[in-house]
Amino acid sequence: ETGVTQTPRHLVMGMTNKKSLKCEQHLGHNAMYWYKQSAKKPLELMFVYNFKEQTENNSVPSRFSPECPNSSHLFLHLHTLQPEDSALYLCASSQNIGQGRAFFGQGTRLTVV
Amino acid sequence: AQKITQTQPGMFVQEKEAVTLDCTYDTSDQSYGLFWYKQPSSGEMIFLIYQGSYDEQNATEGRYSLNFQKARKSANLVISASQLGDSAMYFCAMREVFNNNDMRFGAGTRLTVKP
C-alpha cells in the first residue's frame, strides 16, 4: 500500500514519439514530485509542485514537460527524448513541501530506442 | 548545497546478523530531517525511518534504528536480525526545512543478505 500509483509501469518509445507518464495519489497530499533514477546515479529531483503550482524545475530539458491539473494528479509529458533519458521515473507526494516523508510510486521504467 | 554521501556501494551480511549502512550529510541549516528508504528490485521506494535534527533520541522502527550523530553529521542505518527479504538498495535522504524543501538522496548502498 503506497497510495501513489504510476502508469504505465514500463514504456518503450522511439526518439520521435510523444508519450505521457501519469501519477495519482489518494493521500490528500499537497506536494508532488518527479524524480529520475538513472543507473549508478543518485535520484535526481526534476520537478516539484505545491498546491498545483510548480515551485521547482531543476534545469530539466524542455523535452520533459510536467503538468499538474489538481493536487491528486501529476503528469510528465515526453517528446523527442534521447537514449540517455532511459531511466526509472519516480513520482512522490508529501503532505506539504518540507513536511513529512515522501510517499513514492513504483515508478515507470522508460526505455528510449 | 546539501550533499548526502553513502560510501558503501555494496554490503553483504549473513542472515540473522546486524548490519550498519553509513550515511553522512552536509548542511548549514539547523532544521532538517533525515530519511532512509529501501528500494527492492520492483523499483518502489519504501520508507523505513525518519530522524529530525532536533530529536534527542535515535529513531527506531522495528528492526531498523538510526544512529544519529549530529556533531559528525552522520545518520547511519542499523538493521538488526537481517532477513533475506532485506536484500535491496538503501538510500539515505535529507530535507532542509527552511533553506531547501526538496528531499535529496545519496547514491545508495546495495545490501545483500546471505543465507
d(C-alpha A89, C-alpha A110), whole Å? 7
User: How buried is A103 (Cβ within 10 angstroms: 0-12 exposed, 13-18 middle, 19+ buried)?
Assistant: buried
Q: Please give the span between the terminal C-alpha atoms of chain A, in angstroms, as a whole number.
A: 33
pLDDT of residue A25: 96
Q: Are B45 and A104 within 8 A, CB to CB?
A: yes
Whole-angstrom distance, CA of residue B105 vs CA of residue B115: 29
Tell me the Cα Rg of chain B.
14
A107 three-state secondary structure? coil
The C-alpha cell at A79 is 517528446
Query: Which residues, including other chains, have CB under 8 Å from residue B37's CB and lie 6 or more apart?
Result: A104, B45, B46, B47, B48, B90, B91, B93, B105
Q: Could you tell me which residues come within 8 angstroms of residue A30 by beta carbon, excluding any fewer than 6 positions away?
A: A50, A51, A71, A95, A96, A97
pLDDT, mean of residues B55-82? 96
How far is the C-alpha of A43 from the C-alpha of A35, rounded, in Å? 6
Give B9-20 pLDDT, tens digit per residue.
999 999 999 999
**Residue indicated by cell numbers 536480525:** B81
Cβ within 8 Å, pair A104-B107: no
> Residue B102 above 80 pLDDT?
no
Count, residues in chain A: 113
Please report, rounded to a whole number, the percentage of residues in chain B having pLDDT higher than 90.
79
Q: What is the pLDDT at residue A56? A: 75
> For the residues of B19-78, what is the DSSP string, one character each?
EEE--EEE-S-SSEEEEEEEE-TT---EEEEEEETT-SSPPEETTEEEEEETTTTEEEEE
CB of B64 within 8 Å of a chain A CB? The answer is no
What is the predicted pLDDT for the residue at A24? 97
Tell me whether residues B95 and A107 touch, CB distance under 8 A: no
pLDDT of residue B99: 61
Residue A85, pLDDT score? 95
Output the pLDDT for position A36. Answer: 95
A41 part of contact set with chain B, CB < 8 Å? yes
CA distance A89 to A84: 13
pLDDT at A55: 82
Q: How high is the mean pLDDT in each 10-residue block of chain A (113 residues)?
A: 87 93 95 91 88 83 94 95 95 84 93 95
Neighbours of B56 (CB within 10 A): 7
Q: CB neighbours of B109 closer than 8 A, spacing ≥ 6?
A: B6, B8, B9, B10, B11, B21, B22, B89, B90
Residue B102 to residue A2, Cβ atoms within 8 A: no
**B73 — contact with chain A (CB < 8 Å)?**
no
Partners of B106 on chain A (C-beta within 8 Å) are 42
Residue B88 in contact with residue B11, Cβ under 8 Å? no
pLDDT, residue B114, reads: 97
pLDDT at residue A93 in the model: 93
pLDDT of B64: 98
